[in-house]
Amino acid sequence: MKKERGLLIVLSGPSGVGKGTVCGALRQEDTDIHYSVSATTRSPREGEVHGVNYFFKSREEFDHMIKNNQLLEWAEYVGNYYGTPVDYVEKTLSEGKDIILEIEVQGALKVREIFPEGVFIFLMPPSLAVLRERIQNRGTETEELINNRMTVAKEEIEMMDKYDYVVENDEVPLAIERIKAIVKAEHCRKDRLIDKYRKLVEVE
């Protein structure tokens, strides 16, 4: 019997909500979910391995990927390009493996245009006050920058209706359990299974 296609799980939300923490903890707890490997033009750091940490590309190679629609989404940050290769995601999904993509809201909306069948999860803080506190606790940003992030966060929260699910990140273990429940439910969706079981009936 043909192997069931994996799920593309897109996790995003405002800066400071804890996307990286939740995604990292989820990967440690559930080895069946694979992490999307990004392409980048920055140089490898000590200990980083091509194809494991990143796909390291020259600027010319990355430009070629952009022009040939080989990236689900991409952005420039501190002089370097970062993006999600379509081929890597497609290969992982076709092998029946679930893959999680942790990106910002704008990037998630771009992915939705290309992969509408993905599972889009918006990670929500318990409150804006808690979000501000989490950003402040980083101790790396000025009050002005924090205010700017909060303004953007409010705009991003307004985009929540573009997502399939909303998960509150009040406590990381609880957020992980909610995400795992969503993934289980998505694997049982009628739309994903109906063709498979119709074929079983036809064979009989």
Q: How far apart are the first and last CA of the chain?
A: 14
> Helices 143-157 and 128-137: crossing angle, nearest 10°?
140
What digits encode the pLDDT tens for the residues 127-138?
999 999 988 887
Rg (CA), the chain: 18
CATH superfamily of 8-36+98-203: P-loop containing nucleotide triphosphate hydrolases (3.40.50.300)
What digits encode the pLDDT tens for the residues 36-48?
888 999 888 888 8
Q: How many CB atoms lie within 10 A of CB 52?
A: 9
Across 66-93, average pLDDT: 88
Two tokens, residue 111 = 């992915």
Q: What is the pLDDT of residue 23?
A: 87
Q: How many CB atoms lie within 10 A of CB 47?
A: 6
Higher pLDDT, 171 or 204: 171
Per-domain residue ranges for the chain?
8-36+98-203
pTM: 0.82
pLDDT band at 30 (very low <50, low <70, confident <90, very high): low
